[in-house]
């Protein structure tokens, strides 16, 4: 997989270590040399469009908003917007040419509503949770928590009022910093649509025969869900290790379901249907573990 695809699937931002693990040091250095990657922090890289979005908003005298603001704040998103979301005052005229370069939003912002060229972290989180589809909103909320924005999310949930406030609180309660990336967040958003399924990210499972920390676990139904991507295996050794772990979990009485990035992102209805079927199977079948599993 090429470097650009890896960083796109990582939510528009990635560490150098992650990029090298998924590709190679030489690939990352070549991408940097030709300008396909930009360094945006210590060991952190982004697509050139991330910086270009801020430049466009500045030129048009607006502020980045929604997922464009989220990426600007360093949060990973389900999909990096192809053109930036920019918010303008309600009565400000936006030139016709400028309207072709951005997705125009309207709001009269106060001094506390902006941070530099973007909406503030608090307003960005509020707008994303209120306006985005559930899976995109959960990906942003998880990302914000991974980056230490716990007090910000609490304030957003406590102060949300009006239309969409119930959704803000619902998504906020579902957010979890343990989700490793937007891929896992979107997978969990699908799981939340399945009656009877209750998953926890990165839950450690341990027995005399296997130690594992799957992406998502429903302990009560003994279902393990893995968000599978070849890029994160790193090498043949990692791939072999994962296969053995899945086999041992199955022998321990767990149902192991593996979903690819393409299916989770592009065929969510199919993924949900598979999960519903899996829950139905386990509801009708008493599965006894071959070996005792630690509580």
Average pLDDT over residues 27-41: 87
Average pLDDT, the chain: 89
Per-residue pLDDT, 68: 96
Question: Cα–Cα–Cα angle for 200, 204, 210, nearest 5°?
Answer: 135
Per-residue pLDDT, 286: 45
Per-residue pLDDT, 282: 59
pLDDT > 90: percent of the chain: 62
Other Cβ atoms within 10 Å of 267 Cβ, number = 14
HSE-up of residue 112 (Cα within 13 Å, Cβ side): 1
> Where along the chain do its domains lie?
1-46, 48-174, 182-284
How many Å apart are CA 103 and CA 127, to the nearest integer?
Answer: 15
Per-residue pLDDT, 235: 63
Q: Would you call 160 exposed, middle or buried from its count of C-beta atoms within 10 A (0-12, 13-18, 19+)?
A: middle
Per-residue pLDDT, 234: 56
Average pLDDT over residues 155-166: 96
How many Å apart are CA 46 and CA 7, to the nearest integer?
Answer: 7
Which CATH fold would you assign to the domain 182-284? Endonuclease; Chain A (3.40.960)
pTM, whole model, 2 decimals?
Answer: 0.84
The structure tokens 């992406």 sit at 215
- The answer to whether residues 26 and 3 touch, using CB atoms and an 8 Å cutoff, is no
How many Å apart are CA 88 and CA 83, to the nearest integer?
Answer: 15
Q: At what angle do helices 182-191 and 134-146 cross, to 10 degrees?
A: 130
The pair of three-digit structure tokens given for residue 133, joined into one six-digit string: 């589809």
Q: Would you call 208 exposed, middle or buried from its count of C-beta atoms within 10 A (0-12, 13-18, 19+)?
A: exposed
Check whether 152 has a pLDDT greater than 90: yes
How many Å apart are CA 224 and CA 278, to the nearest integer?
Answer: 11
Average pLDDT over residues 94-107: 90
């Amino acid at each position: 997989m090429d470097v650009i695809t890896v960083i796109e699937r990582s939510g528009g931002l990635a560490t150098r270590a992650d990029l090298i693990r998924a590709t190679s040091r030489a690939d990352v250095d070549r991408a940097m040399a030709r300008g396909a990657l930009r360094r945006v922090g210590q060991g952190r890289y982004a697509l050139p469009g991330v910086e270009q979005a801020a430049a466009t908003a500045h030129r048009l005298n607006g502020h980045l908003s929604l997922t464009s603001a989220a990426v600007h704040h360093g949060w990973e998103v389900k999909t990096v917007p192809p053109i930036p979301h920019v918010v303008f005052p309600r009565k400000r005229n936006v030139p016709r040419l400028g309207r072709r370069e951005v997705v125009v939003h309207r709001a009269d912002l106060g001094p506390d509503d902006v941070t530099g060229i973007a909406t503030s972290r608090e307003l960005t989180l509020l707008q994303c949770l209120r306006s985005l589809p559930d899976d995109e909103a959960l990906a942003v909320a998880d990302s914000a928590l991974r980056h230490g924005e716990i007090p910000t999310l609490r304030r957003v949930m406590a102060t949300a009022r009006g239309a969409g406030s119930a959704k803000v609180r619902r998504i906020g309660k579902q957010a979890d910093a343990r989700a490793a990336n937007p891929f896992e967040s979107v997978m969990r958003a699908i799981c939340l649509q399945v009656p009877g399924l209750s998953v926890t990210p990165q839950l450690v499972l341990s027995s005399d025969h296997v130690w594992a920390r799957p992406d998502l676990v429903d302990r009560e139904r003994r279902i393990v869900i893995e968000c599978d991507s070849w890029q994160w295996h790193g090498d043949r050794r990692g791939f072999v290790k994962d296969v053995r772990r899945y086999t041992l979990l199955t022998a321990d009485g767990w149902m192991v379901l593996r979903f690819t990035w393409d299916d989770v992102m592009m065929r969510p209805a199919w993924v949900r249907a598979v999960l519903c079927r899996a829950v139905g199977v386990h509801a009708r079948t008493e599965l006894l573990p071959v070996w005792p599993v630690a509580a």
